[in-house]
């Protein structure tokens, strides 16, 4: 396994990271011991970067228990910000919640520090200065070693960097974005900004949230467990693109999963891409692709199918800022909508 530097933190991480959302027993793998075996198999393969979140059910508990014997051998990342229950105070990026959330995560993870602590979603209701101030205190206390964001808009990245410099606060060192052959929009601004500010980038959804596994075909049966819940898995535009990628993968002599993963980590703006297996066979399949390198010819063909910087449809789980998600912020009152 080769290792890459996580932005300018000096931390060395593997190009593949292990995402553990599916380690949650309530909606992922119901057997924590099996998840622990997957985690250790990933470590044996050279993966040293583990990512979880407090909103992933009991994933932090499962990960913490599995890492008790080898905590110092991994770069451990978790996230806060998304709701963890019905209490409206148990979410967001306020100082009030951050100081509580980090203690909860440390306890569940059975550790005294978190290597990378990430804001799971932008919190429009909290001033970024308050968030950075609280995170700076965690860094100074030693409970957190680096801080990052997830699903940030380019403008949010710039604002956070500007506020950190102006106020003498810690800077976000990483950004975690959705990126795949089907969703290349972050190539336009987010990746160049991250590179400019020396931020490492983590990628979630490199398999198109299931569409690039080879298991989903147009007109065929869709056996993915999430299919009834996620619209993008039945989006005709996305399925049409998959049908163009299938023969390309076959010509390259690759399974679709290997084509998709190799594409993502080939981008110079990408530090590490998250594998999100639920079962051991899924992990085994992904690990057999660690040596795949896509040639320029294959990458050129992908560019023809999905032009750089563009998205084919949208992921259901993608962050939508209030200005887009709230109709009241993009529609004048009815009486004011006419020109006269």
Q: Which residues are catalytic?
A: 56
Main-chain phi, psi angles of 173, to 5 degrees: -105, -10
- DSSP-assigned letters across all residues of 238-280: HHHHHHHHHHHHHHTT--HHHHHHHHHHTSTT--EEEE--SSH
What radius of gyration do the chain's Cα atoms show? 20
Please choose, from the candidates 174, 191, 126, 220, the residue with its C-alpha nearest in 3D space to the C-alpha of residue 9: 174
Please choose, from the candidates 120, 173, 186, the residue with its C-alpha nearest in 3D space to the C-alpha of residue 13: 173
In this structure, is the dihedral angle defined by the CA atoms of residues 266, 48, 63 and 99, taken in order, positive or negative? negative
In total, the chain counts a number of residues equal to: 340
Pairing of strands 4-5, 200-204: unpaired
Asked if 134 and 104 touch (Cβ cutoff 8 Å), the reply is no
Helix 32-44 and helix 280-287, axial crossing angle in degrees, nearest 10:
10
**Structure token digits, residue 85:** 């229950």
Asked if 50 and 39 touch (Cβ cutoff 8 Å), the reply is yes
Please choose, from the candidates 311, 180, 317, 312, the residue with its C-alpha nearest in 3D space to the C-alpha of residue 236: 312
Asked if 183 and 153 touch (Cβ cutoff 8 Å), the reply is no
**Structure token digits, residue 262:** 């190799």
**Structure token digits, residue 255:** 């399974």
In this structure, is the dihedral angle defined by the CA atoms of residues 78, 79, 80 and 84, taken in order, positive or negative? negative
């Amino acid at each position: 396994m080769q290792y890459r530097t996580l932005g300018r933190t000096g931390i060395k991480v593997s190009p593949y990271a292990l995402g553990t959302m599916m380690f949650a027993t309530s909606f992922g793998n119901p057997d924590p011991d099996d998840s622990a075996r997957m985690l250790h198999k990933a470590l044996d393969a050279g993966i040293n970067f583990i990512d979880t979140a407090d909103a992933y059910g009991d994933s932090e508990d499962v990960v913490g228990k599995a890492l008790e014997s080898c905590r110092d051998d991994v770069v451990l990342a978790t996230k806060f910000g998304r709701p963890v229950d019905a209490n409206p105070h148990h979410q967001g990026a306020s100082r009030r919640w951050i100081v509580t959330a980090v203690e909860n995560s440390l306890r569940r993870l059975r550790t005294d520090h978190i290597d990378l602590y990430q804001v799971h979603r932008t919190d429009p209701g909290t001033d970024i200065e308050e968030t950075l101030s609280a995170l700076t205190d965690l860094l100074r206390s030693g409970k957190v070693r680096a801080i990052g964001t997830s699903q940030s808009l380019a403008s949010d990245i710039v604002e956070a960097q500007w506020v950190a410099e102006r106020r003498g606060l810690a800077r976000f060192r990483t950004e975690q974005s959705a990126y795949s052959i089907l969703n290349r929009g972050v190539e336009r601004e987010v990746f160049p900004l991250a590179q400019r500010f020396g931020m490492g980038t983590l990628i979630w959804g490199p398999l198109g949230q299931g569409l690039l596994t080879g298991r989903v075909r147009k007109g065929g049966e869709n056996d993915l467990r999430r299919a009834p819940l996620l619209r993008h898995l039945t989006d005709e535009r996305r399925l049409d693109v998959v049908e163009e990628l299938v023969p390309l993968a076959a010509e390259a002599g690759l399974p679709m999963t290997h084509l998709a993963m190799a594409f993502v980590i080939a981008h110079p703006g990408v530090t590490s891409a998250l594998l999100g297996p639920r079962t051991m066979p899924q992990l085994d399949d992904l690990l057999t692709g660690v040596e795949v390198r896509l040639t320029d010819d294959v990458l050129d063909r992908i560019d023809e199918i999905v032009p750089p910087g563009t998205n084919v449809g949208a992921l259901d789980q993608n962050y939508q800022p209030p200005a887009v998600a709230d109709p009241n912020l993009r529609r004048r009152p009815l009486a004011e909508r006419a020109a006269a």
